[in-house]
Structure 1
Amino acid sequence: MEFNKNNFEENKKYNVKSIMAVLLFGGFLSLFNESILNVALPVLMEEMHVTATTIQWLATGYVLIVAILIPITAFLIHSFNTKPLFLSAMLLFLAGILFAVFSTSFTTLLISRMIQATGTGMLIPIMMNTALVINPPEKRGSAMGLCVCAILVGPALDPIVSGTMLLFFNWKSLFILPLILQNGLHTSSLTSALVLLPTALIDRLLTPIAGKIFDKFGGKVLIPVGLFIMCIFMWLLSHIGVSTPIIVIAILYSFVTIGVALSLSPSQTSSLNQLSIEQQTDGVAITNTAIQIASAIGSTLFIGLMTAGQNKFLNSISSGITDEINLQALYSGFSYSVTVAVIVIAIGFILSLFLRRDVKKEAI
């Protein structure tokens, strides 16, 4: 897609809503597919006779391929028209799904996942870059809010789908909060998923609203407010214990999601608004690559911290280890992990206070 000063005038002949709908649907499908297979890892490990370390590559490899393809796609966007790139990405994604259906070994399934990831890695920057190009500056916040919503809703719905599958097939989840709900409060997989349902709804409803607020007031206030809300309620989550009711955990986590919705999309839009339209393709690639890398290491990092906190608690016990002590250790590890997350968010909040006001939105 060519970038020029008359871009927004030329785009009037296109149906922007239809283009956005197609882009958002493609982005939702690809991101939904990214983590949905996690619930099947234990069964796949048994059926394909591979170790847990090996089977994890079905998830980790997917994210890494996506992270690699995003900056490569920035180059492709500069070199080729958007429509054939989008169609190629969708074909790769669908071909990967088709090959996965007929996979009978770990190797073929892994190759299928990598093909899917290639399509996903192309779809994300194509979606976000096109949304920036076909929408005028005064509507970018709303457009980016919809794009981030499509990115968030897919993974947010995964626990719901996974919880239903876990209810019938007795598979295990790999998320931190479900670990507390299932292992700490002894809830069923479906109950854990339903506890997380409000977060999916909040993501879906508030992210576009945050985009509209950004269009009117900018990100200088919105981003710090979102990070402050996250910091406060993550700190409260770090203090939950064995006696904490499940409804309290659900409410606290819902407020965390409100903070995410208020800060994630506006922070991306604010950063991209500092760039010229010619530079925005590269900006989209950089921001989304950073998000994918963070996604790849985030869960592993914080689950590792939780395990370290558990072990530290258990090592401090001189008497015999009982079920009650193991439960206390689980909460101690969760608290340790979430406390580290609070520190990271607090640093982000402090840095957000130094954000300058958004550049004046002028027609390009």
Structure 2
Amino acid sequence: MQASAATSGTATQAAKKEIKVFPVVLAFLIAGFIGLFSETALNVALTDLMKEFNIESATIQWLTTGYLLTMGILVPLSGLLMQRFTTRQLFITALVFSCIGAIIGAVASSFGILMVSRVIQAVGTALLLPLMFNTVLVIFPVEKRGAAMGLIGLVIMFAPAVGPTIAGLLVEALNWHYIFWISLIFLVIALMIGIFTMQNVSETTKPRIDGLSMLLSTLGFGGIVFGFSSAGEGDGGWTSSTVLISLAIGLIALILFSVRQLKMSTPMLDLRAFKYPMFTIGALMVALCMMVILSSMLVLPMYLQAGLAFSTLSAGLILLPASALNGLLAPIMGKLFDKYGPKWIVLPGLVLVAAALWMFTGVTLASSVTFIIAVHIIMFIGVSMIMMPAQTNGLNQLPPHLYPHGTAIMNTMQQVFGAIGTAVAVSVMSNGSEKFMSQADNPSDPSLIPAALTAGVQDAFLFAMIIALVGLVLSVFIRRVVVNRPH
């Protein structure tokens, strides 16, 4: 395995000299931007969709968690796919799936069809994101990776930032279908650029496909995400048989999957990456950060619209400054990481995130827009200090033959933890709202709904703050990786 890794590394080094970096990165940035724009653009339309389809928040959250569930199932396969297929083949396939999903969403007339659209879109994004990270690792030397990852971070953070604002404008002026039409236009442009400019940046090795590993991976990651996501539905909550059985199947399958991968000479997902401590810490911190980001990006628009009675456009505009600033800071943080290492960027970042979430636990129906924007900015400055430095530092510790597996593991953890965070936040919010209504003098009074929702939102932010504090403890152990590997 060492010999093959060395051979692969030599081939990759030779290929690097012929790669035109700019068009390859440009194609990925455009495709990644639209893929991640699609992931959050619907968030400000969720309240409208609940009314249009006559469904509850526990059901509407499946538009987000279903997307993440699909990614949680498919991203673990990306390490295998990147070894079997060329960069160009995977890029074009990812864009085709994204385009088909956008078309179905644009003409969707029911919640079920819209859900199908989201799943197909997620297939495209699941193929694209690990491929993008792996390509950056291959074509950029270690000393320039922080800046390169920062550029990727600009797209990853800026796309979700402008998503709710553009979506709010479209919903206000036209309707939610146009979110998908706009996405489709740019996806087709990205596909055309990819067809004409995308190059193959790494060697294919055609590893054997292990059917049992694929089955265990699907049952494991899918069962965990489905179990958590189902907890917010129905009367049983966390004690319902569906939730308990799904979580049990998922956990058992993941244990069997892990044992099998460690025994295989060429595993589908090489879990030996976890032998590298900075990779493990980096992966955990990025996953916890994704829990905080996705749960807050789902809860906050609901609070602004259903609690404070803002329009979809106004809610999107309120969320824009912080998220846009976060995107703009990503390249700066990447350069600071190259210069100073991760610790004194990541640790203060987690302090800012935890402090902001603590302030959000005190929101009321009287909270000012200025307060919400200011706290949101503090939170996302912190997020920009955590994501790229922790991720880049972790991946830097891996030998080149583990790059596809490392990016697959990190992206899988982001999607699975993100889905869990979203599901738990919605469940906590719903329980908090129900508790508020049950203690009211007149529980059937509809005028109490905004106050009840706000009480639930406070609980959801408390949950997110606890996650941030766990990350803060982990950040104490992070240290800069010194790369002096000959292969």
TM-score category, normalised to shorter length:
0.7 to 0.9
Letter in 2 for 1:71: P
Q: Secondary structure at the match of 1:206?
A: helix
Deviation at 1:106, TM superposition (A): 6.2
Kindly indicate whether the alpha-carbon contact (under 8 Å) linking 1:137 and 1:361 is maintained by their aligned counterparts in 2. no
Take 2:110 and 2:336, find their aligned partners in 1: how far apart are those partners? 49
Judged with a 3 Å threshold, the aligned counterparts in structure 2 of structure 1 residues 183 and 96 are, in CA distance, closer, same or farther, namely closer
Q: Could you tell me which residue of structure 1 aligns to residue 427 of structure 2?
A: 304
Offset from partner CA, 1:55-88 (integer Å, 9 cap, x none)? 7655433322222221212101112221222122
Q: Using a 3 Å threshold, how does the CA distance of structure 1 residues 37 and 193 change in structure 2: closer, same or farther?
A: closer
Compare relative contact order (CA 8 Å, sep 6+) and give the higher one, 1 or 2: 2
| Mapping for residues 181-330 of structure 1, pairs under 5 Å | 181-318=304-441, 326-330=449-453
Q: Is the 8 A contact 2:347 2:475 kept in 1?
A: yes
Distance 2:368 2:59 in 1: 37
CA distance in 2, matches of 1:112, 1:178: 22
Kept after mapping to 2: 8 A contact 1:220/1:358 = no
C-alpha deviation, 1:100, in angstroms: 4.7
Partners of 1:322 and 1:109 lie apart in 2 by 32
CA distance in 1, matches of 2:355, 2:42: 33
The aligned residue for residue 32 of structure 2 is 27
2-side partners of 1:133 and 1:175: how far apart? 34
User: Given that residues 99 and 112 in structure 1 are in contact (C-alpha distance below 8 angstroms), is that contact kept between their aligned partners in structure 2?
Assistant: yes
* Distance change >3 Å, CA 268–CA 29, structure 1 → 2: same
Aligned partners of 2:369, 2:51: CA distance in 1, in Å?
Answer: 33
- The more displaced of 188-197 and 282-291 is 188-197
Change (3 A) 1:61 1:185: closer
1:125 to 115, 130, 147: 130
Q: Cα offset for 1:10?
A: 4.1
| Correspondences of 1:134-173 after superposition (within 5 Å) | 134-168=139-173
Q: Deviations over 1:172-214 (max 9, x none)?
A: xx93112222333333322221111102311220111111111
Q: Is the 2:43–2:164 contact (alpha carbons within 8 Å) kept by the matching residues of 1? A: no
Query: For 2:163, what is the secondary structure of its paired residue?
Result: helix
- TM-score, normalising length: structure 1: 0.87
Counterpart contact for 1:35–1:155, Cα < 8 Å: yes
Greater shift, 236-245 or 37-46, is seen at 37-46
Matched length? 361
> Aligned partners of 1:322 and 1:113: how far apart in 2?
35
Structure 1 residue 5, shift from structure 2 partner: 4.2
Q: 1:273 & 1:124 partners in 2: Cα distance?
A: 18
The residue correspondences of 1:59-74 to structure 2 (distance < 5 A) are 59-74=64-79
CA displacement, residues 74-121 of structure 1 (integer Å, 9 cap, x when unaligned): 101112221222122222322333455566676665544433322211
In the aligned structure 2, how far is the partner of 1:254 from the partner of 1:66?
A: 28
316 and 197 in structure 1: CA distance in 2 versus 1, 3 angstrom threshold: same
Q: Do structure 1's residue 14 and structure 2's residue 19 form an aligned pair? A: yes
What displacement does 1:352 show? 0.8
Cα deviation per residue 1:323-359 (whole Å; 9 max; x = unaligned)?
7755444333222221121111111101110113323
Residue type of the alignment partner of 2:384: A
- In the aligned structure 1, how far is the partner of 2:147 from the partner of 2:471? 23
Distance across 2 between alignment mates of 1:84 and 1:57: 30
1:273 CA drift (Å)? 1.4
Matched ranges for 1:93-132 at <5 A: 93-101=98-106, 110-132=115-137
Structure-2 separation of matches of 1:226 and 1:301? 23
Which structure 2 residues correspond to residues 46-85 of structure 1 after superposition, within 5 A? 57-85=62-90
Distance verdict in 2 for CA 1:107–1:177, change over 3 Å: closer
Counterpart amino acid of residue 120 in structure 1: T
Q: Which amino acid aligns with 1:295?
A: G
Note if contact 2:34-2:159 (Cα within 8 Å) is conserved in structure 1: yes
Contact 2:156/2:327 (<8 A) preserved:
no
> Which has the larger displacement, 147-156 or 289-298?
147-156
Q: Is the contact made by 1:137 and 1:363 (CA closer than 8 Å) also made in structure 2?
A: no
- The aligned amino acid for 2:415 is Q
CA deviation string 1:199-237 (max 9, x = no partner): 231122011111111111111221111111101121122
Unaligned runs of 5+ residues in structure 2 are: 177-296
Q: Distance in 2 between matches of 1:106 and 1:341?
A: 28
SS in 2 for 1:146: helix
Q: Which moved more, 1:339-348 or 1:91-100?
A: 91-100
With over 3 angstroms needed to count, the CA separation of the structure-2 counterparts of 1:106 and 1:215, relative to structure 1, is same
Identity %: 36
Stretches of structure 1 lacking an aligned partner (at least 5 in a row): none
**Which segment is superposed worse, 34-43 or 277-286?**
34-43
CA distance in structure 2 between the aligned counterparts of 1:50 and 1:310, rounded to whole angstroms = 19
Which amino acid in structure 1 is aligned with residue 18 of structure 2? K
After superposition, the C-alpha distances for 1:103-162 in whole angstroms (9 at most, x for unaligned) are 667666554443332221111111110011000001111222222332232222221022
Is contact 1:8-1:136 (8 Å) kept?
A: no
| Distance in 2, Cα, partners of 1:301 & 1:161 | 27
Q: What is residue 92 of structure 2 aligned with on the other side?
A: 87
